[in-house]
């Protein structure tokens, strides 16, 4: 588990490791402030440097780096025709965010940088107003960038510096003792520090200004060089012409200066996060001299129609400007062709905090019958409605692709995996889940399993008799031996012994048969009974012939309708006064706290309590007592009565039924309620009233990424903390017009107070 302690340079310093030999190159008096502990194998965590919290990422999770709002103001200006001055605050609207990336990250993330439909060489991009802006070739450094070698890292920062208009130098470096192997280095602006007193008296013009701009590099286990610390702010103006004569730019390798020209058929201009463009040069040939058509495997490219890549680019960039926590990442092959895309909106990231315990991965659209290779992450909210948690477009269904996707998703969820993941029987996806979510319960979607059986058993599939036997075997078995005996009888009776695929499915029974899953929490998502299964999130909107452009045109509309329905259901549940159907106090208790939809489901269980005919104690072990509940399946039909074992702990007031309704659906069953009543418990214990179903909890759909305890010396945490608090006021302000007026007045007053503080500092 990652350490949650934050590191502030102002508070403490780390002395160099005794096994590391430090070399100071061109250092100033304050150079030692930047030296950190660099053990031979130990890695410095991102949260230790910047106060980020990884929330439980293991060292071997191999997570990808989450970059949020990565498009700099230049890109927004190029793609959307937005003047830089129109942005109220570039640094707040377009910012980087690292949500718990892993330290052994091997994936290559891509930042969308522009649309090349109107500029084949990538040097310029034309917006809707025909305004032309110059595109930058090298993105600003960010924590987590990785390079194949130290030279690659140096060349990248040098090229970035030359493009911006400043020179660099090696401020310090360190090697392993008794070895010439370099382990780390600090590259800084050549205006860093100040001259020593004896040098200051010379006639040479003073060029140092105490600039703090720098990057800190470290060799990691994967033999790559990683950027551990970044400071972008300079305290001096840039002079691109003068810096051409700086030492660092004079000794640039010719291959580092050469631009990479994108191939003609590439519509999306990208920047590779983990390698500078310079390291992609091959020999002495430029990229436009290579025969790309002979090297690119078209099956490994995302199948896009003409103009769709540019459409995706503009769509994502627009969402980033209107949705501060919108996140997306693209995966490119070595030729710069688009392979995979992942994105998630701000509300989905926040909803995961409330409903991220159970997640279903819908791969329906990945079949060949669909035009768009869409994958959807789905959850279930407090009204038992499906909610969107993320989307992806995939080039194929290989384990490698799924691992990339799951790591991207996990990284923007602060490294917190779900308790349960529900999928289809895709082997590649199963392998990816076991690697990325090793402690998560992976289960198969039961309705899909049952449907596949009915589709593949041949002529007996449509038989009503077979369907009844199958449903009784799968859904009504209470014990493992009971299920296995019933399955064997079904196979024997219908002559299915030769169905090898059915035998393979049976061998996976612990992933889909309810009798094996009683310790897994499902929240009513895709299991237990057929009527409990949720519809796909885009059901009715995405069809086999839906194009990618059509999908993105309806994407926001579908989300808006879903959000509106949730808001209306919230209002209805808040004022809902149900018609009570029993005299049980449990009904009154939960009618006051459950949402309408969940209360109606629970009310059915209460009514069925009347079918529980008798309660008999069959065993006792200290405070734990086992009861047998005899229930008739149909009113007046005593021949089909069934027995249910219920365990009850008198000390902890805990109850558990063999039917495991609480884990499957999220509320207690009639058998457990009957035992509570039998023992004189008037109210349902609080541990069985889940927060996820309550209507009296206000859910703020602003991502709460991080702790309320912040490092007051860290400006990045200032922004995160203030943003979360401001979004809570926004959410409350949307309840009514009165709430809106109070929120607006509060914002104005707060802004005036903040400006008064700023005025005092100026005076």
Tell me the per-residue pLDDT of 269-298, one tens digit each, with 9 for 90 and over.
232 333 333 223 223 323 333 333 333 344
Q: What are phi and psi of 230, to 5 degrees?
A: -135, 135
26 and 120 in a common domain: yes
- pLDDT at residue 139, rounded to an integer: 79
- Please give the span between the terminal C-alpha atoms of the chain, in angstroms, as a whole number: 47
Most confident of 144-148, 315-319, 558-562: 558-562
**CA 104 to CA 60: how far, in whole Å?**
7
Of 421, 416, 403, give the one whose Cα is nearest residue 349: 416
Lowest mean pLDDT among 76-80, 421-425, 572-576: 76-80
* DSSP letter (8 states) at residue 205: P
Nearby residues of 673 by Cβ (< 8 Å), 6 or more positions away: 584, 586, 605, 606, 609, 684
Domain assignment present for residue 660? The answer is yes
> What radius of gyration do the chain's Cα atoms show?
31
Give me the helices (H) in 69-221, please.
73-80, 90-93, 150-164, 197-200
Q: Locate the DSSP E strands across 220-373.
A: 225-231, 268-272, 327-332, 338-344, 358-362
pLDDT at residue number 9 = 34
Same domain, 535 and 489: no
Pick from 105, 188, 85, 190: nearest CA to 145: 105
Asked if residue 551 has pLDDT above 80, the reply is: yes
Do 564 and 510 meet the contact criterion of CB atoms below 8 Å apart?
no
H or E element: which one contains 404?
Answer: helix 399-411
Residue 400 has pLDDT above 50, yes or no: yes
Residue with tokens 């608090």: 725
**Distances, alpha carbon 226 to alpha carbons 45, 137, 144, 220, 563, in Å:** 11, 20, 6, 7, 41
Residue 422 shares a structural domain with residue 524: yes
- Give the Cα separation of 251 and 159 in Å (integer): 11
The residue that leads in pLDDT, 63 or 395, is 395
- Cα gap 740→183, rounded to integer Å: 56
CA 485 to chain centre: 42
pLDDT of residue 251: 60
- Same-domain pairing of 142 and 199: yes
Please say if the pLDDT value at position 20 is more than 60.
Answer: no
168 and 68 both lie in a single domain: yes
pLDDT attached to residue 517: 94
Q: How confident is the model at residue 529 (pLDDT cuts 50, 70, 90)?
A: low
Above 80 in pLDDT, residue 476? yes
For residue 464, give every residue at least 6 positions away whose Cβ sits within 8 Å of its Cβ, in sequence order, or none.
none
Q: What is the pLDDT of residue 177?
A: 67
Q: What is the mean pLDDT of residues 86-96?
A: 35
Q: Which of 258, 283, 308 is the last residue of a domain?
A: 283
Candidates 256, 270, 328, 334; CA nearest to 301 is 334
**pLDDT tens figures, 188-229:** 998 887 765 555 445 556 677 888 899 999 888 667 788 888
Backbone angles phi, psi at 436, to 5 degrees: -85, -35
Q: CA angle, 277 as apex, 276 and 278 as ends, to 5°?
A: 90
Binning pLDDT at 50, 70 and 90, where does residue 708 land? low
Lookup: tokens for 652 = 């902890």
- Cα–Cα–Cα angle for 117, 120, 123, rounded to 5 degrees: 105
d(CA 162, CA 166): 6
451-482 residues labelled b (16+ CB within 10 A) or e (exposed):
ebbeeebeebeeeeebeebbeebbeebbeeee
Q: How many helices (H) and strands (E) does the chain have?
A: 23, 21
Shared domain for 168 and 142, answered yes or no, is yes
Q: Stretch 173-193: mean pLDDT, rounded? A: 82
* Choice between 246 and 260, residue whose per-residue pLDDT is larger: 246
| Residue 165 pLDDT grade (very low, low, confident, very high; cuts 50, 70, 90) | confident
- Between CA 730 and CA 741, with CA 736 as vertex, the angle to 5 degrees is 65
Report which of 227, 149, 207, 146 is spatially closest to residue 181, judged by C-alpha positions: 149
Average pLDDT over residues 576-589: 93
Taking the C-alpha atoms of residue 352 and residue 344, their distance in angstroms, rounded to an integer, is 11
Are 59 and 438 contacting, i.e. CB atoms less than 8 angstroms apart?
no
Residue 500: domain span: 455-511
Q: Is 355 within a domain?
A: yes
Match 């208790």 to its residue by tokens.
589
- Which residues does residue 112 pair with via DSSP β-bridges, in sequence order? 270
- Confirm whether 187 is domain-assigned: yes
Are 744 and 719 in the same domain? Answer: yes
Cα–Cα dist 352/378, whole Å: 10
Residue 700 lies in a domain: no
Tell me: the pLDDT tens digits for 603-635? 999 999 999 989 999 999 999 999 999 998 766
Instruction: Choose the weakest-confidence range: 83-87, 456-460, 708-712.
Output: 83-87
Structure tokens at 181: 């192997």
Which of the pair, 684 or 102, is modelled with greater confidence? Answer: 684
How many CB atoms sit inside 10 A of residue 713's CB? Answer: 14
Whether 181 and 266 share a structural domain: yes
Q: What percent of the chain has pLDDT over 70?
A: 67
| For range 244-248, the mean pLDDT | 72
Tell me what pLDDT residue 33 has: 35
**Co-location of 407 and 386 in the same domain:** yes
What pLDDT is stored for residue 584 in this prediction? 93
| pLDDT averaged over every residue in the chain | 74
- Same domain as 155, residue 108: yes
Residues composing the chain = 763
Q: Is the pLDDT of residue 736 over 90?
A: no
> Which of 199-213, 416-430, 738-752 tops mean pLDDT?
416-430
Tell me if 692 sits within 8 A of 555, measured CB to CB: no
In a domain, 649, yes or no: yes
Position 701 scores a pLDDT of 76
User: Scanning the structure block, which residue is given the tokens 């058929």?
Assistant: 265
The domain boundary, picked from 511, 528, 559, lies at 511
Q: Give mean pLDDT, residues 96-122.
A: 38
DSSP state of 128: T
User: Cβ(390)–Cβ(411) under 8 Å?
Assistant: no
Query: Residue 289: is it exposed, middle or buried by C-beta count within 10 angstroms (0-12/13-18/19+)?
Result: exposed
Look at residue 689 and tell me if it is in a domain: yes
Q: Measuring CA to CA, how many Å separate 174 from each of 4, 17, 404?
A: 27, 10, 33
The DSSP bridge pattern shows strands 358-362 and 420-423 to be: parallel
Residues 436 and 506 in one domain: no
CA pair distance 456, 419, nearest whole angstrom = 32
Sign of CA dihedral 218, 222, 223, 224: negative
Number of structural domains (the chain) is 5
Which residue has better confidence, 687 or 286? 687
Highest mean pLDDT among 123-137, 296-310, 693-707, 744-758 belongs to 744-758
- Same domain, yes or no: 187 and 274: yes
Report how far Cα 114 is from the mean position of its chain's Cα atoms.
Answer: 24
Report the candidate in 706, 60, 45, 104 with the shortest Cα–Cα distance to residue 439.
Answer: 60
**pTM (2 decimals)?**
0.60
Rounded CA-CA distance 39/14 in Å is 11
Instruction: Give the per-residue pLDDT at 81.
Output: 37
| 710 domain residue, yes or no | no
Here the tokens at position 196 are 């020593």
Which of the residue ranges 201-205, 210-214, 305-309, 731-735 would you say has the lowest mean pLDDT?
201-205
The residue among 216, 248, 283 that closes a domain is 283
681 in a structural domain = yes
Please check the confidence at residue 263 and state whether its pLDDT lies above 60. Answer: no
């Amino acid at each position: 588990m990652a350490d949650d302690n934050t590191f502030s340079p102002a508070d403490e310093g780390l002395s160099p490791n005794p096994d590391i030999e430090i070399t100071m190159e061109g250092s100033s008096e304050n150079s030692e402030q930047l030296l950190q502990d660099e053990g031979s194998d130990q890695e410095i965590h991102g949260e230790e440097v910047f106060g980020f919290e990884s929330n439980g990422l293991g060292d071997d999770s191999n997570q990808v780096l989450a970059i949020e709002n990565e498009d700099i103001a230049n890109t927004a200006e190029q793609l959307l025709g937005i003047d830089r001055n129109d942005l109220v605050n570039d640094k707040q609207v377009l910012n980087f965010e690292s949500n718990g990336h892993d330290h052994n990250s091997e994936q290559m993330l891509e930042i969308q940088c522009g649309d090349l439909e109107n500029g084949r060489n990538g040097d310029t991009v034309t917006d809707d107003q025909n305004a032309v802006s110059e595109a930058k070739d090298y993105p600003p450094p960010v924590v987590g960038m990785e390079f194949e070698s130290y030279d690659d890292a140096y060349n990248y920062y040098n090229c970035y510096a030359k493009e911006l208009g400043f020179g660099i130098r090696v401020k310090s470096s360190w090697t392993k003792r008794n070895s010439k192997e370099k382990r780390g280095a600090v590259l800084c602006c050549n205006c860093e520090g100040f001259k020593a007193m004896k040098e200051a008296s010379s006639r040479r013009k003073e060029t140092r200004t105490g600039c703090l701009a720098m990057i800190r590099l470290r060799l990691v286990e994967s033999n790559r060089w990683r950027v551990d610390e970044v400071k972008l702010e300079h305290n001096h103006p840039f002079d691109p012409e003068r810096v051409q004569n700086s030492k660092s730019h004079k000794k640039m390798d010719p291959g580092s200066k050469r631009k990479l020209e994108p191939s003609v058929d590439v519509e999306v201009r990208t920047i590779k996060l983990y390698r500078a463009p310079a390291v992609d040069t091959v020999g002495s040939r430029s990229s436009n001299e290579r025969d790309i058509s002979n090297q690119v495997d078209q099956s490994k490219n995302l199948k896009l129609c003409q103009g769709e890549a540019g459409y995706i680019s503009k769509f994502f960039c627009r969402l980033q400007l209107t949705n501060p926590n919108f996140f997306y990442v693209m995966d490119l092959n070595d030729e710069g062709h688009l392979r995979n895309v992942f994105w998630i909106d701000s509300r989905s990231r926040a909803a995961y905090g409330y409903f991220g315990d159970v997640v279903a991965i819908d791969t329906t659209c990945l079949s060949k019958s669909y035009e768009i290779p869409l994958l959807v992450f789905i959850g279930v909210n407090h009204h038992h409605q499906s909610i969107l948690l993320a989307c992806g477009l995939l080039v194929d269904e290989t384990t490698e692709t799924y691992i990339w996707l799951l790591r991207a998703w996990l990284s923007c969820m602060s490294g917190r995996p779900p308790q349960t993941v529900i999928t289809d029987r895709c082997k590649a996806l199963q392998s990816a889940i076991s690697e990325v979510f090793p402690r998560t319960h992976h289960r198969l979607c039961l309705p899909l399993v049952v449907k596949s059986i009915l589709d593949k058993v041949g002529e007996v599939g449509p038989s009503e008799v077979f369907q009844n036997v199958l449903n009784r075997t799968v859904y009504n078995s209470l014990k493992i031996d009971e299920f296995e005996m019933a399955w064997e009888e079904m196979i024997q009776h219908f002559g299915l012994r030769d169905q090898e695929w059915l035998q393979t499915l049976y061998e996976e029974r612990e992933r889909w048969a309810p009798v094996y899953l009683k310790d897994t929490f499902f929240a009513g998502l895709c299991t237990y009974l057929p009527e409990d299964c949720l519809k796909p999130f885009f059901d009715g909107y995405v069809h086999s012939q839906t194009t990618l452009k059509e999908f993105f045109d309806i994407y926001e509309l579908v989300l808006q309708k879903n959000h509106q329905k949730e808001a209306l259901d919230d209002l209805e549940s808040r004022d809902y006064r149900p018609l009570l159907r029993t005299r049980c106090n449990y009904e009154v208790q939960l009618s006051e706290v459950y949402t309408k939809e969940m209360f109606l489901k629970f009310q059915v269980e209460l009514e069925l309590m009347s079918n529980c005919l008798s309660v008999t104690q069959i065993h006792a072990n200290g405070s734990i007592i086992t009861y047998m509940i005899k229930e008739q399946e149909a009113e007046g039909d005593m021949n089909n009565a069934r027995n249910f074992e219920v365990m009850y702990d008198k000390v902890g007031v805990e109850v558990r039924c063999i039917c495991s309704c609480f884990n499957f659906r999220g509320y207690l069953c009639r058998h457990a309620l009957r035992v509570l009543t039998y023992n004189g418990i008037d109210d349902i214990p609080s541990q069985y009233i889940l927060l996820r179903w309550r209507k009296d909890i206000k859910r703020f759909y602003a991502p709460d990424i991080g702790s309320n305890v912040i490092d007051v010396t860290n400006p990045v945490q200032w922004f995160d903390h203030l943003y979360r608090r401001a979004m809570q006021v926004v959410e409350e302000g949307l309840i009514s017009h009165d709430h809106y007026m109070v929120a607006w007045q509060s914002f104005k007053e707060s802004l005036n107070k903040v400006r008064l503080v700023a005025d005092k500092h100026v005076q």
